[in-house]
Structure 1
Amino acid sequence: MSDSLSPVDRAKFAAAKRASAFVESGMKVGLGTGSTAAWLVKCLGERVKDEGLDIIAVPTSSRTAALAEEVGIRITTLDEARWLDLTIDGADEYDPELNLIKGGGGALLQEKIVATASDRMIVIADATKKVDTLGAFPLPVEVIGFGMRTTRMLIEELLDGLDVMGTKAEPRMTDGGLYVTDEGNHILDLHLGRIGNARQLALVLNQIPGVVENGLFIDICDVIVTGHGDGRVEMRDINTGEEDVTRVLEPEIDNLFSEQAD
């Protein structure tokens, strides 16, 4: 049974299982990247196998693409799909207005493109991702390699005049070198502590030469599905005001994804 999972992983799985019910045969679906999104892919794979669910998916990273193919989900590119019925993805933080910080898993650029090319975005998360104000989680900013030190300096100078608690921008590292995104770029993680005006920050960051995209998702998320360690799931639709709480009974499932970030 799912009792063998940690409370956080049970919460992620519960949220993913609840969100998978939004997916219907014939849909074109964006698949996010990260630990919670990986649970979703597994849940959809089970539905493909057991129910004959017929969907076409657009993955937001090479990792998600590999997992989707592994569990039997047909994948395509966004250029081929053109427009999606919905995207389901995780988040590193979300606030009461369902604004998000994303990019902990390093796929924020493709995630934002796919999410904005969808009729709806559903976010799945465990309860620890809910915050009153964004900013405790470092904000990822994808930048090109050319002039990266200058871009970093410009970002820190910009932050000094904005309503944030910190201004430090650190290059993301992996295996002793700079992290490289699927698009061949790098990521600066901004340690802000608190973001007083997320909408303003999202706009001004993208005006800096060298910045490709930032991890603030403003007015993109439509539905939040929040899982809890006891199996309860809260769902909130910001457009309709609909809210409900259900309990998801998890089957036994291998804990394969606890080391990934959203």
Structure 2
Amino acid sequence: MSSQEKRLAGEAAIRYVEKGAIIGVGTGSTVAFFIDALADLRDQIQGAVSSSEQSTAQLKKYGIPVLDLNATGPLNIYIDGADECDPQRRLIKGGGAALTREKIIAEASAKFVCIIDSNKRVDVLGTFPLPIEVIPMARSLIGREIVKRGGQPVWRDGVTTDNGNWIIDVHGWQIADPIALEKDLNQLPGVVSVGLFARRPADVVLIGDRLMD
């Protein structure tokens, strides 16, 4: 059911794509279905701004131009998945280690459409470990700060982000105030980006082919 919902969500997001637009494109298995569907519209859009090398390769495979955000300026629409989504459309993202570029594109976009399957819908964020991208030399420092805040940091050993950094996954948090936690963690020296999309949540959430209530 999960794979079917992902496919339905990816295909349903096509209805938000406008003719002549530049599309912000996220990362992950659900987004891969969206890119498959976007291939049929490649002659009707200007191109895409991609959040990862993985998505860039898939877009280029279909002949969809991949553009630089510095050159495009603000985007009308960003399509991406999530690892968790709460009732206020606040998200945990970063399971695919692309959270920093995803957060940049989301911030640059007027509308953020999040596409998920029903397993990603939660009442309180935190069951999925919270990814934090860190400068490598800050890994232990950030780990100690997380422990002070009641979290259990686990280094995602062997994973380097597209930006050349490392990921710490934080277990054991039930995140009642994701905006406050996002702000707090962002202040720690060595943190590049936090996988909480709370200050800038999704505008629209599709679970399969239906809108989340």
Pairing partner for 1:169 from 150, 153, 162: 153
**Which deviations, in whole Å up to 9, do the C-alpha atoms of 1:217-251 show, x marking residues without a partner?**
01331000111xxxxx2114xxxxxx6xxxxxxxx
**2:22–2:45: 8 Å Cα contact kept in structure 1?**
no
Shift of residue 155 of structure 1? 2.1
The yes-or-no answer on 1:138 pairing with 2:122 is no
TM-score, structure 2 normalization = 0.96
**1:56–1:73: 8 Å Cα contact kept in structure 2?**
yes
CA distance in 1, matches of 2:14, 2:64: 13
**2:53–2:162: 8 Å Cα contact kept in structure 1?**
yes
Over aligned residue pairs, what C-alpha RMSD do you find?
A: 1.2
Shift of residue 149 of structure 1? 1.1
CA distance in 2, matches of 1:151, 1:106: 17
Shift of residue 207 of structure 1? 0.9
Q: Which residue in the other structure is 2:7 paired with?
A: 13
Shift of residue 181 of structure 1? 0.4
Amino acid at match of 1:225: L
Pairing partner for 2:19 from 4, 20, 25: 25
CA distance in 1, matches of 2:133, 2:102: 12
The yes-or-no answer on 1:155 pairing with 2:155 is no
CA distance in 2, matches of 1:135, 1:78: 31
The yes-or-no answer on 1:234 pairing with 2:176 is no
Shift of residue 54 of structure 1? 2.3
The yes-or-no answer on 1:83 pairing with 2:74 is yes
User: Aligned pair count?
Assistant: 212
**1:106–1:187: 8 Å Cα contact kept in structure 2?**
yes
CA distance in 2, matches of 1:33, 1:78: 16
Name segments (4+ residues, structure 1) moved above 2 Å. Answer: 52-55
CA distance in 2, matches of 1:39, 1:147: 36
Q: Which residue in the other structure is 2:195 paired with?
A: 215
Which is helix-richer, 1 or 2?
2
The yes-or-no answer on 1:224 pairing with 2:205 is yes
Taking every aligned residue pair, what percent have the same amino acid on both sides?
39
The yes-or-no answer on 1:62 pairing with 2:38 is no
**1:202–1:216: 8 Å Cα contact kept in structure 2?**
yes
- Structure 2 unaligned segments of length 5 or more: list them: none
- Structure 1 unaligned segments of length 5 or more: list them: 1-6, 161-166, 228-232, 237-242, 244-262
**1:155–1:208: 8 Å Cα contact kept in structure 2?**
no
TM-score, structure 1 normalization = 0.78
**Which deviations, in whole Å up to 9, do the C-alpha atoms of 1:148-175 show, x marking residues without a partner?**
2122112221x13xxxxxx1000012xx
Residues 71-150 of structure 1: pairs in structure 2 closer than 5 A: 71-150=62-141
The yes-or-no answer on 1:194 pairing with 2:174 is yes
**1:134–1:195: 8 Å Cα contact kept in structure 2?**
yes
Aligned with 1:123: secondary structure? strand
Aligned with 1:224: secondary structure? strand
CA distance in 1, matches of 2:176, 2:13: 30
CA distance in 2, matches of 1:131, 1:150: 30
